Amino acid sequence: MDKDGKFSCSRIVNVEFAIPLSISPNPATNVLTIKGPGNDNSVLRIVDANGKIVNSIQASNDILN
């Protein structure tokens, strides 16, 4: 909601990845599952709405908390 008490919704944009990638559920509350072809050189970066990197991890089959 804006300072003037009004709000508007953003339009939905279809995002296409160069590699097959699955992210679920959307929206997430406590758990986010990301599946895709990874290798030892892959890095996953999670950013907030302001573009700040919240977490950066090396790709693996591990479960992160």
pLDDT reported for residue 40: 63
- CA within 13 Å, CB half, 39: 2
pLDDT reported for residue 52: 92
Report the predicted TM-score, pTM, of the whole model to 2 decimal places. 0.47
pLDDT reported for residue 1: 65
Q: How far apart are CA 63 and CA 5, in angstroms?
A: 41
Q: Report CA-CA distances (Å) from 37 to 4, 42, 64.
A: 45, 9, 18
Token pair of 41 as six digits: 């050189």
| For residue 63, pLDDT beyond 70 | no
Distant-in-sequence, close-in-space partners of 42: CB < 8 Å, separation ≥ 6: 58, 59
Q: What does the pLDDT look like over 22-54, one tens digit per residue?
A: 888 888 888 878 877 766 677 888 888 888 998
Better-scored residue on pLDDT, 11 or 41: 11
